[in-house]
Amino acid sequence: MQEIVDATIENIAVSQRTNLEVFSGTLQHLAQTDRDIIVVTSDSRGSGKLVPFGQKFPEQIIEVGIAEQNLVGVAAGLASTGKKVFAVSPACFLTARALEQIKNDVAYSNNPVKLIGISAGVSYGALGSTHHSLHDFAVLRTINNMMIVAPADNFEAEQAILLAAESDIPVYIRFGKKQMPLLSEDEKTFEFGKGRIVREGSDLTIIGAGETVAPALRAAEKLRREHHVAAAVVSMHTIKPLDYDLLRDIAATGQPVITVEEHSVYGGLGEACASFLIQHDFHNRFKIMGIPDEYTVTGSQTEIFNHYGISEGGIAAAALGLIS
């Protein structure tokens, strides 16, 4: 299999923008010609990089104050009239405090709100577990009529926002705070529910989502350089609906599979993949990497990632363990 050329440790190009900045810019672009684009915030316009949006389109931003339940209920009411509503709040609060509103007012009533979980996973680092969202994939996976998306680069972020704006079913999109890598210069297609192979390799496959894709790529490069192991890397940006076709293709190689997520190892990307594989008689060697069932060690996002092995070295070591 071919390797893509720009994925070495040194030259995984880091863009100058966070996905949130891409989100804000994309929304401003859309709002210029579409007055139905509405943003609802819970005192989160600053952290959501939405101050410029609010200045340019003051009638298209609704502030509800620090009140996430109301944020989601109001967003659902707005969406019921045909507005294209982006409800923006830290992922930790949005998907826990307002879970019943997400379940009933958005998903069950099918008001196609675009739920934007910002500073997701452990992006808040040392602010601690109140501010971490390591549960959001798990709880939202069990809610019918809900897409779950974690973009891994600026391209995926922009495409996800463009598609979400026109989606007639609810979608949850999770953004971190990091400047993101450019996974591929020439990528032209993006679809919800279709994972992207961002590096090819015939010895094993590492499946990441969101901010774990970059360390997965670095690990793949380390494996090539130091161990002559060819690891494929997939950005499984859509956690639900999961790309079963791609999973089937990966599993059919018979090679080991590692999933890496900025989420509890319970109920997220890894268990979703494992569930599919085991129920379709695939018995590949398999490992779920993520945050174990504990309140995380104190540290920055990077320190927390390193502590739990969501890193170049940690993922590479896990890969060597599986292929040995």
Partner 1 sequence: MLKVMSEKELTQKSVEYRKKILKYIYQAKAGHTGGSLSCIDILNVLYNYTMDVDPGHFDSPDRDRYIQSKGHTVEALYVVLASRGFFPESDLETLCKYQSHYIGHPTRKVHGVEQNTGALGHGLSLSVGTAIAGKLDKRDYRVFTVLGDGELPEGSNWEAALSASHYKLDNLCAILDKNTLQISGPTSAVCNTDPVDEKFGAFGWAVRHVDGHNIAELMAAFDALPFEKGKPSLIIAHTVKGKGVSYMENQLKWHHGVPDPKQYADAIQELDLLEETLS
Among 101, 184, 235, 296, binds partner 1 (CB under 8 A): 101
CB of 111 or CB of 259, closer to partner 1: 111
Instruction: Pick out residues in 49-88 that bind partner 1 (CB under 8 A).
Output: 59, 62, 64-65, 67, 69-70, 72-83
Binding mask 109-128 for partner 1 (x = CB under 8 A): xxx-----------------
For 13, other C-beta atoms within 10 Å of its C-beta total 13
Q: Which is nearer to partner 1, 90 or 176 (CB)?
A: 90
Is-contact 89 113, C-beta < 8 A? no
Dihedral sign from CA coordinates of 188, 214, 298, 149: positive
Residue 54 three-state SS: helix
CB of 57 to partner 1, least distance (A): 11
Q: Compute the distance between CA of residue 196 and CA of residue 238 in angstroms, rounded to an integer.
A: 10
Per rule CB under 8 A, is residue 243 in the interface with partner 1?
Answer: no
Binding positions for partner 1, 11-50, rule CB under 8 A = 38
Interface with partner 1 (CB under 8 A), residue total: 28
How would you classify residue 181: left for phi > 0, otherwise alpha for psi between -120 and 50, otherwise beta?
A: beta
From the list 26-34, 43-51, 106-114, 260-268, the region that binds partner 1 by CB under 8 A is: 106-114
Minimum CB distance to partner 1 smaller for 112 or for 215: 112
Specify burial of residue 96 (Cβ count, 10 A radius: 0-12, 13-18, 19+): middle
What 3-state class would DSSP assign to 23? helix
Query: Contact residues for partner 1 (CB under 8 A)?
Result: 38, 59, 62, 64-65, 67, 69-70, 72-83, 100-101, 104-105, 108-111
